[in-house]
Structure 1
Amino acid sequence: MALRPAAVRLATVTSVLSGPSGSADATPLVVRTVALDDDSPLLALVPREESLAWVRRGEGLVGWGAAASIRTKGPTRFRDASEWWKEHARSAVVRDEVAQPGTGLVAFGSFAFADEPGESVLVVPEVVVGRRGGTTWVTTVSRATIASPAAVRPADAPAPPAGVTFVDGAISGTEWERVVAEAVRRITAGELEKVVLARDLLATADDEIDVRWPLQRLSESYPMCWTFHVDGLFGATPEMLVRRERGLVTSRVLAGTIRRTGDDSRDLALAATLARSSKDLEEHEYAVRSVADALAPHCTSMNVPEAPFVLHLPNVMHLATDVAGVIDDDTTCLELAEALHPSAAVGGTPTEVAKAVISEIEGMDRGRYAGPVGWMDASGDGEWGIALRSAEVMGRTVRLFAGCGIVASSEPEAELAEAQAKFVPVRDAISGV
């Protein structure tokens, strides 16, 4: 029987292979994938406990249970998780009757932004339900024996949060403006070119929050984003850090933001302003350059568009660029995510200087906010987004996150307003109305 996180949480492992109990376990995972005749919304299928999700436009993956798991931390968190995963993938016995990206052996993961502090997690669910291009499937994972396909049916409907109140997190808005001003001073002095600063907001409800409620609302309100949940961290990210699928690698870079007004004609004018903004174009260029430089060593060819497009979301608009390449080695999507993290879109430029500035002046622990979140399969293909527009649920408390790219021309008041706009998706999703 798989270890239940509700009772003992996930096993803590750093650089050794382990089974779900935390001790060495050479018993292979046995995996079976079969087609499923069910058109229910994926998020309606997940139970309240041990749920996992990666959904966009009604397609993607959801899962529950923990057939195997690992927690890692520190500078080797990606490498340790990757070695653990490769060992399980090599030893797994797989019967896959569907053969689509996301079938067979799959793990969901979420990684800490910084080397310290923070803990990362990779989970192989006991059950995965996936949908792609009109095909739906169910994967069942066990140890030693082939399990019968799991029974899949809509779960009980989540109840909305009640009595939700919001307060500032680690620092107030006024204090955060001072932090932004300090970052601008350092940039102007030539210490660095760009740094991304984040702040948090705390929400408290009357009772324990069922994470499926905000997940379903985010999926409905932001269908263009990737709605995710791994080990308490949930959100709807517009930014794909890296996708690897059958030799093609893609990354969506977002940097440069303007708030929407709700008036279509006014928003079109604002989009044109964003596309011409020297401040936002400068911020965006740093982010694209960092992604292209990180992917180049692994690709035989790359396509990096000369100019960004404007991505329209319900609450904001972003400058966006889709970088693509053909991979020429067996580097997995998780290893590519490690190579890309942190991009200038969530860290800054130069990377090491920006990370040091964040640690020194930001004033909070990001945890897994702005780290890679997503899934991977046994072939090394998968999708890792950046955990943006996200929050962490802990009982009846939710910690919301938002960040802004700071360059020499940034104005603290404007950056605070941008951060407030980025809180809106999760804030609305847990409002309970």
Structure 2
Amino acid sequence: MSVALGITRPLPVRTTQVSDPGDLLSHLPSTAPYAWIRHGQGLVGWGQAARVAVPPGPGRFAWARRWLADVFADAHDQPGTGPVAFGTFTFDENATGSVLVVPQATLIRRDGRSWLTTVGDAPHESPLTPARAPGRISYGDGSLTAPEWEHIVAHAAQRIRDGELEKVVLARDLTATAEHPIDVRVLLTRLADRYPDCYTFSVDGLVGATPELLIRRTGPHIESLVLAGTTARGADPAADRANGIALFNSAKDRHEHECAIASVRQALAPLCSTLHTPDEPELLVLPNVQHLASPVSGHLADGATVLDVVAAMHPTAAVGGTPTATAVDLIREIEGMDRAGYAGPVGWIDAHGDGEWGIALRSGIVDGNQARLFAGCGIMGDSDPASELAEAQAKFRVMQYALEG
């Protein structure tokens, strides 16, 4: 494996099948852990064998693929094992902050089997220390106050009614200050336990549990899960069912969902020999919200890597809007904040081009005893600012739970 960043000699890569490691997250050190976990399966990593800041711009995914081709040039492991790179890409292609990292050690559990991959000559024992809860948490306004955010929602809805676009996704942020330095492992454990159906992730300080699988590539086969349209959980089973029925029958939410599905079809069709999207969405019920969801599957026609598919899909209408280019321009104009990695692609890729990438929703950026939390809502012409604010607040609760327990 030839590692970039000025290291020209091949670094040894060793992959060993290991006995069941139990809780993958329990093997992580406190410093810069990497994780991608769902239902107890996935991968965790620590240390850095190679790392790069991906230059911003429209060619950033192609640049990343070339860097990875160099990094993985001498890797000859079987699919599903060997070295991997964890990555996070900013929502806005013009923003800095996109990163790829190859850990020194990666522990993988998949389909009842587990492997440990190490890169380089250094010892790869993870120096475990007890995790400490963040303690008391205080919150403050992010880039905009709640009334200011409601104002931009109203402005966006008017622009939509004026015919400029069909939908725009607006995000807001919230600051959190903890009594003690925030140990990412505590957040990951709480998120994985409470939201097992989501993909719990940690890459370069970006931590969260996303319900939205942007793309999974396994050989030529690809899968995606499109989410658009949201409602809160009910206070009791009857109210919960009523909320779900109302969401499924909501013209506004169904139209929002169809916009998202259409953007995925448009992105994937040129890459696929076959592509299946359902005629109607289903309800995805999570502990805090319900979503309209549509699973998508297909077969790639030309051997594109998972990162090539990410490049074709991002940003989807589910996190940008429709038409997407117009919506992204409006986001830049009125949103009033830097999204950083929020709503951008986050995940992993191996030497064979396989991998899983999600959209970094229900997430925050952790730095010392500070965290910046994010939430977003799809705005349509008939959106009510107060209702959208309440939806954003419901989405914040995921990361607030991770911090507070």
TM-score higher than 0.5: yes
What is the CA–CA distance in structure 2 between the aligned matches of 1:87 and 1:396, rounded to whole Å? Answer: 36
Identity of aligned residues (%): 50
**1:31 counterpart = 2:13:** yes
User: Displacement, 1:163?
Assistant: 2.1
What is the CA–CA distance in structure 2 between the aligned matches of 1:169 and 1:254, rounded to whole Å? Answer: 25
Deviations 1:190-226 (A, max 9, x none): 1011100000000001221111111100000000000
Q: What is the one-letter code of the residue matched to 2:266? A: D
Structure 2 equivalent of residue 13 of structure 1: none
What is the CA–CA distance in structure 2 between the aligned matches of 1:229 and 1:34, rounded to whole Å? Answer: 24
Structure 2 equivalent of residue 373 of structure 1: 346
Structure 2 equivalent of residue 88 of structure 1: 71
Task: Please say if residues 178 and 370 of structure 2, whose CA atoms lie closer than 8 Å, have aligned partners that are also in contact.
Answer: yes
**1:130 counterpart = 2:130:** no
What is the CA–CA distance in structure 2 between the aligned matches of 1:380 and 1:177, rounded to whole Å? Answer: 42
Unaligned runs of 5+ in 2: none
Structure 2 equivalent of residue 305 of structure 1: 278
Q: Which range moved further: 66-75 or 418-427? A: 66-75
Let me know the Cα RMSD of the aligned residues.
Answer: 1.5
Equivalent runs, 1:10-409 vs 2, <5 Å: 19=4, 22=5, 24-75=6-57, 76-90=59-73, 92-94=74-76, 96=77, 99-101=78-80, 103-142=81-120, 150-151=124-125, 155-409=128-382
User: Displacement, 1:124?
Assistant: 0.4
Structure 2 equivalent of residue 14 of structure 1: none
What is the CA–CA distance in structure 2 between the aligned matches of 1:151 and 1:397, rounded to whole Å? Answer: 28
User: Displacement, 1:339?
Assistant: 0.8
Task: Please say if residues 3 and 11 of structure 2, whose CA atoms lie closer than 8 Å, have aligned partners that are also in contact.
Answer: no
Q: What is the one-letter code of the residue matched to 2:40? A: G
Q: What is the one-letter code of the residue matched to 1:417? A: A
What is the CA–CA distance in structure 2 between the aligned matches of 1:198 and 1:392, rounded to whole Å? Answer: 15
Task: Please say if residues 373 and 384 of structure 1, whose CA atoms lie closer than 8 Å, have aligned partners that are also in contact.
Answer: yes
Match of 1:297, SS state, is helix
Unaligned runs of 5+ in 1: 1-16
**1:417 counterpart = 2:400:** no
What is the CA–CA distance in structure 1 between the aligned matches of 2:165 and 2:152, rounded to whole Å? Answer: 15
Deviations 1:367-414 (A, max 9, x none): 011000000111111000000000000111000000000111211111
Q: What is the one-letter code of the residue matched to 2:403? A: I
Match of 2:152, SS state, is helix
**Could you state the TM-score of these two structures normalised by the residue count of structure 1?**
0.90
What is the CA–CA distance in structure 2 between the aligned matches of 1:240 and 1:163, rounded to whole Å? Answer: 32
What is the CA–CA distance in structure 1 between the aligned matches of 2:30 and 2:262, rounded to whole Å? Answer: 41
What is the CA–CA distance in structure 2 between the aligned matches of 1:18 and 1:198, rounded to whole Å? Answer: 37
User: Displacement, 1:40?
Assistant: 2.0
**Could you state the TM-score of these two structures normalised by the residue count of structure 2?**
0.96
Deviations 1:201-258 (A, max 9, x none): 0000122111111110000000000000000000000000011102111110000000
Task: Please say if residues 87 and 347 of structure 2, whose CA atoms lie closer than 8 Å, have aligned partners that are also in contact.
Answer: yes
What is the CA–CA distance in structure 2 between the aligned matches of 1:381 and 1:83, rounded to whole Å? Answer: 15
Cα distance, 1:262–1:36 mapped onto 2, change above 3 Å? farther
- Give the 4+ runs in structure 1 shifted more than 4 A: 150-153
Task: Please say if residues 258 and 274 of structure 1, whose CA atoms lie closer than 8 Å, have aligned partners that are also in contact.
Answer: yes
Q: What is the one-letter code of the residue matched to 2:272? A: C
Residues matched between the structures, number: 403
Structure 2 equivalent of residue 429 of structure 1: 402
Task: Please say if residues 235 and 390 of structure 1, whose CA atoms lie closer than 8 Å, have aligned partners that are also in contact.
Answer: yes
User: Displacement, 1:152?
Assistant: 6.5
What is the CA–CA distance in structure 2 between the aligned matches of 1:333 and 1:117, rounded to whole Å? Answer: 22
Task: Please say if residues 347 and 357 of structure 2, whose CA atoms lie closer than 8 Å, have aligned partners that are also in contact.
Answer: yes
What is the CA–CA distance in structure 2 between the aligned matches of 1:89 and 1:213, rounded to whole Å? Answer: 32
User: Displacement, 1:30?
Assistant: 2.3
